[in-house]
Amino acid sequence: MEDTGPAFALPGYSHKLWKMRIPSRDMGKGKRGGFRGIYYFDRERDPPEIHLLTIYAKNQREDIPATELLRLWQRFMDFLKAQRST
């Protein structure tokens, strides 16, 4: 797997929601101008869980608004709860 650079824990999500930079060769951009991925990572589970929640091009949006991020988190938590109860 190619090194995509550092990932950053998003504040307020117990170090389980992360943002990472992803370079784009097609757009001629490096990590700073490529894509952003938001993913869930729970290292406390055995085995650890990782889920990609969304990916977006940095040139189309600078950031995800906090309200949209919260909705994404809540929908994903509902999904996880349903999956784990089956």
Residue type, position 27, single letter: M
Q: Please state, rounded to an integer, the average pLDDT across all residues of the chain.
A: 86
78 against 25, higher pLDDT:
78
pLDDT tens sequence across 29-46:
555 678 899 999 999 989
- The C-alpha atoms of residue 49 and residue 75 are separated, in whole angstroms, by 17
Other C-beta atoms lying within 10 Å of the C-beta of residue 18: 18
pLDDT exceeds 80 at position 20 = yes
Helix (H) or strand (E) holding 79, with range, is helix 66-84
pLDDT exceeds 60 at position 57 = yes
As a whole number, mean pLDDT of residues 43-62 equals 91
